[in-house]
Amino acid sequence: MSKQIFLCAINNILSGTCQEDCKFCTQSVRYHADIERYNYKEITQIVEEAKAAKAQGALGYCLVTAGKGLDDKKVDFVARAAKAVKAEVEGLNLIACNGTANREQLSYLKAHGIDSYNHNLETSERYYAEICQTHAWSERYETCENAKSAGLTLCSGGIFGMGEEQEDREELLKAIASLSPMSTPLNFYHPNPALPIKTRNIEREEALEIIRKARKLLTETQLLMVAGGRELLFNGHEEAMFQAGANAIVIGNYLTTEGLEPGRDREILNSFGYEAATSCDFK
């Protein structure tokens, strides 16, 4: 059987309105990055976009909101969006990515159709204190634990190339593995001139080494996803990331940067003899 690759799509349903100071994030209002900023999308639009992503082969569909975490208004909105998507689009593993969350909020999302929660640890605890002063890494870890205790499957990964040391990368991978996530998105920093972190300190070979190390730390059934920054590091070299152990990718656009056309991703997979997975067996 040919190797199956899981495809995941992202919908930024509330963009660019965050008051936090994460130095890698264009969605912080503090850095005035030139991105599209908007309040809640219409739920009908979210449903239509979910249908389009499914038609393009997505199995995972992630509803993302900017901001530090869930509040009553946000949790209600994400729950209504999830319920609407679940009612009209079959076969999607529905993921919420809404920042810091407590167990009660996460249980509410689960009751309304969310299957998984995405919350990235981003980097090591040590380096996180250097790149974010408005909240602590420990809150991120705690939210991941809350997601699992609410009965959601967990997606948790991080971003590499933000100026961290080799040791930080090792620590991050170990911390991720300690949470036993269903899926681990590996992002590679995409510099933006407005952000305090100006350059990316990672190249393709190092990124491949990270994929290999992550694969060794995770079990065969855990998804290892190459997410943001794939086009910067692996354009024309995609097979190497799959050979290193990745078995999932994000299709379509990222939160604030553009990806390849989803049709192009399918062509790339087919050219290696891989195929897009057609069912999620982690539910």
| Contact pattern from residue 192 through residue 231 relative to ligand SF4, giving x for each residue in contact according to CB under 6 A and a dash for the rest | ----------------------------------------
- Beta carbons within 8 Å of 28's beta carbon, 6+ residues apart: 18, 19, 20, 21, 22
Q: Does 159 bind ligand SF4 (CB under 6 A)?
A: no
Name which of 195 and 241 has its Cβ closer to ligand SF4.
Answer: 195
Q: Which of 5, 7, 9, 18 binds ligand SF4 (CB under 6 A)?
A: 18
Q: Give every CB contact of residue 106 below 8 A, 6+ residues apart in sequence.
A: 117, 146, 147, 150, 152
Shortest distance (Å) from residue 67 CB to ligand SF4: 6
DSSP readout, 53-94?
HHHTT-SEEEEEE-SSB--HHHHHHHHHHHHHHHHH-TT-EE
Asked if 265 is part of the footprint of ligand SF4 (rule: CB under 6 A), the reply reads no
Q: Is there a contact between 4 and 274 (Cβ–Cβ < 8 Å)? A: yes
The stretch near ligand SF4 (CB under 6 A) out of 15-23, 84-92, 109-117, 179-187 is: 15-23
Task: Select from 22, 175, 218, 224 the one that contacts ligand SF4 (CB under 6 A).
Answer: 22
Whether residue 78 contacts residue 101, with contact meaning beta carbons closer than 8 Å, is answered with: no
CB nearer ligand SF4, residue 34 or residue 203: 34
Site for ligand SF4 in 36-75 (CB under 6 A): 66-68
Query: Is the separation of the CB atoms in 116 and 183 below 8 Å?
Result: yes
Contacts with ligand SF4, residue ranges (CB under 6 A): 18, 20, 22, 25, 27-28, 66-68, 99
